[in-house]
Amino acid sequence: MSHVVKKRKLDKTRQDRLYFDSYTDVTIHEEMIADHVRTNTYRMAILRNSESIRGKVVLDVGAGTGVLSIFCVQAGAKKVYAVEACSIAEQAVKIVQLNNMEDKIEVIRGTVETVDLPEKVEVIVSEWMGYALLHESMLNSVLYARDKWLSPGGIILPSKAELYIAPISDPVVEDRLHFWYTVKDQYGVDMSCMSDFATTCIMNSDITVNSVTVEDVLSHPARFAELDLHSVTVEELRSVKGKFRCESFGSAAVNAFCVHFTVTFPCPDKPLVLSTSPFKPETHWKQAVLYLDAPVDVVQDTVVTGEVSMYPSEESGRHICIHVDYTIGEQKRQSKTFSIPDWSSEAQP
């Protein structure tokens, strides 16, 4: 199904309808709330910023179930505008009532681009990050809200986002490619020639959302981009790019790159970082895995350099594309462009 849809250019309204539809099912909200790293880091960040939130007016962009809005009231916010475009807003209203915060939190059903607030806000809080940080491009809405509704000197939580890349060796792929060599022993049929077909299918140009195990990461992740949410513009988001350089820990067959991100919350004492690194506890974002066309052998200290560029897909503005130019050791420069398949925009994971 996705193949077919992918080829068709979606009109803006249909894109939005599909996008907002995907958040009406309970599963995604359950996954987000149950993501302890995500929810607890936001909770801590908001509570530790109570100095800057107490008595202030807050805008929660894409409030979902309204949990961040409630954290803000718990941190002393005078008023929170919880803006949510999809029907989960109806649940947010009930949750706000259940927590007796109707006087403090106003749930507004609509997109932040279209809602009209009675006043400017001093704080913007939002959990806008998608797969590979920019998938779903909800950050655009946060920046729009910033430029239209944030008072001078106001704060944004989180205030910074950083993107990282590292070469990895995914053993699952190796196993899946090897599987076809094992069929003969099992059933007396030689299917080894399927391994080539499997390679083209598995090591394709989809951005695969996967949990990368620490052992499979072949170097320290290299930061290739940083976004300051106080200054970055929507225009700049149309192409987020940067160079990287990694040195292999040891000998292995590189068969993919792993992209992950962090967002940082300013805090009185020291900043709080929400990390989706494979070296940190797993989050529902997992990591974005980009498979090479074929594995490349590296040894200790083999240098992997390149440039990553991320931009919205032409078919659907909410879908992210990742283009990677890379050189592994003495190999000649190569490049591959990846995109998120359509199924990932469904509630169904």
Q: Contact residues for its own copies (CB under 8 A)?
A: 1-5, 14, 17-18, 21-22, 25-27, 29-30, 33-34, 36, 39-40, 43, 65, 67, 70-71, 74, 91, 94-95, 98-99, 176, 179-180, 183, 186-194, 197-198, 201-202, 341-343, 345-346, 348
Token code pair at residue 256 = 């993919």
Report CA 241 to chain centroid distance, whole Å: 16
Closer by beta carbon to its own copies, 120 or else 184: 184
Token code pair at residue 192 = 């080894």
Query: What minimum distance in Å lies between the beta carbon of 327 and its own copies?
Result: 29
The DSSP string of 297-336 is EE-TT-EEEEEEEEEE-SS-TTSEEEEEEEEETTSPPEEE
Is-contact 211 286, C-beta < 8 A? yes
Active-site residue, from 122, 136, 307, 314 = 136
Active-site residue, from 84, 127, 162, 235 = 127
Is-contact 154 124, C-beta < 8 A? yes
Q: Is residue 314 flagged as an active site residue? A: no
Phi, psi of 163 (to 5 degrees): -115, 140
Task: Give the whole-angstrom CA distance, residue 208 versus residue 67.
Answer: 29
Is-contact 55 76, C-beta < 8 A? yes
Q: Is residue 136 flagged as an active site residue? A: yes
Closer by beta carbon to its own copies, 89 or else 292: 89
Closer by beta carbon to its own copies, 127 or else 224: 127
Query: What minimum distance in Å lies between the beta carbon of 1 and its own copies?
Result: 5
Query: What minimum distance in Å lies between the beta carbon of 65 and its own copies?
Result: 7
Task: Give the whole-angstrom CA distance, residue 272 versus residue 158.
Answer: 9
Query: What minimum distance in Å lies between the beta carbon of 344 and its own copies?
Result: 9
Closer by beta carbon to its own copies, 91 or else 331: 91
Closer by beta carbon to its own copies, 227 or else 340: 340
Closer by beta carbon to its own copies, 27 or else 337: 27
CA dihedral 336, 342, 345, 349 (to 10 degrees): -90
Q: Which residues contact 74 (CB under 8 A, 6 or more apart)?
A: 46, 47
User: Under the phi-then-psi rule, with left for phi > 0, alpha for psi from -120 to 50, and beta for the rest, what region is 329?
Assistant: left
Q: Which amino acid is at 289?
A: V
Query: What minimum distance in Å lies between the beta carbon of 144 and its own copies?
Result: 25
User: What's the angle, vertex CA 296, arms to CA 293 and CA 301, rounded to 5?
Assistant: 140
Query: What minimum distance in Å lies between the beta carbon of 96 and its own copies?
Result: 10
The catalytic residue positions are 127, 136
